[in-house]
Amino acid sequence: DAGVIQSPRHEVTEMGQEVTLRCKPISGHDYLFWYRQTMMRGLELLIYFNNNVPIDDSGMPEDRFSAKMPNASFSTLKIQPSEPRDSAVYFCASSSYWGVSSTDTQYFGPGTRLTVL
């Protein structure tokens, strides 16, 4: 299996521009997660989907951020307009259903390093 795929791996943009990050989860996984990692705030969950439906978006910092999952194999995280404080590494992760005794986990993609100038 190819694992979780993210693109681009690096993105440098200027303040005010729109940024779109992409994620392809592991085939067969029902859950998809978007995280943001910074030195100051650590690893934060932004939003997660189950069967393409957003379940919890309480971590989305503000209206400038939006996420979609049009089908089971693709999700996007969009920032419009971008600001320097959005600079971070954004990870996508996916998992299958967890039964009560399941020892399955979330599988992380390689991340997108975003720099907003």
Partner 1 sequence: ELKVEQNPLFLSMQEGKNYTIYCNYSTTSDRLYWYRQDPGKSLESLFVLLSNGAVKQEGRLMASLDTKARLSTLHITAAVHDLSATYFCAAGRGSNYKLTFGKGTLLTVNP
Q: Which residues bind partner 1 (CB under 8 A)?
A: 31, 33, 42-45, 48, 50, 55-56, 91, 93, 95, 98, 101, 103-111
Minimum distance from residue 19 beta carbon to partner 1 (Å): 20
Closer to partner 1 by Cβ: residue 6 or 82: 6
**The two three-digit tokens of residue 64, written as one number:** 């400038």
Q: Which residues are bridge partners to 108 per DSSP?
A: 93
The string over 68-78, giving b where at least 16 C-beta atoms fall within 10 Å of a residue's C-beta and e elsewhere, is ebeebbebebe
Minimum distance from residue 103 beta carbon to partner 1 (Å): 4
Minimum distance from residue 45 beta carbon to partner 1 (Å): 6
Minimum distance from residue 31 beta carbon to partner 1 (Å): 6
Closer to partner 1 by Cβ: residue 81 or 113: 113
Write the CB contacts of 109 (distance below 8 Å, at least 6 apart in sequence): 3, 4, 5, 6, 23, 91, 92, 93
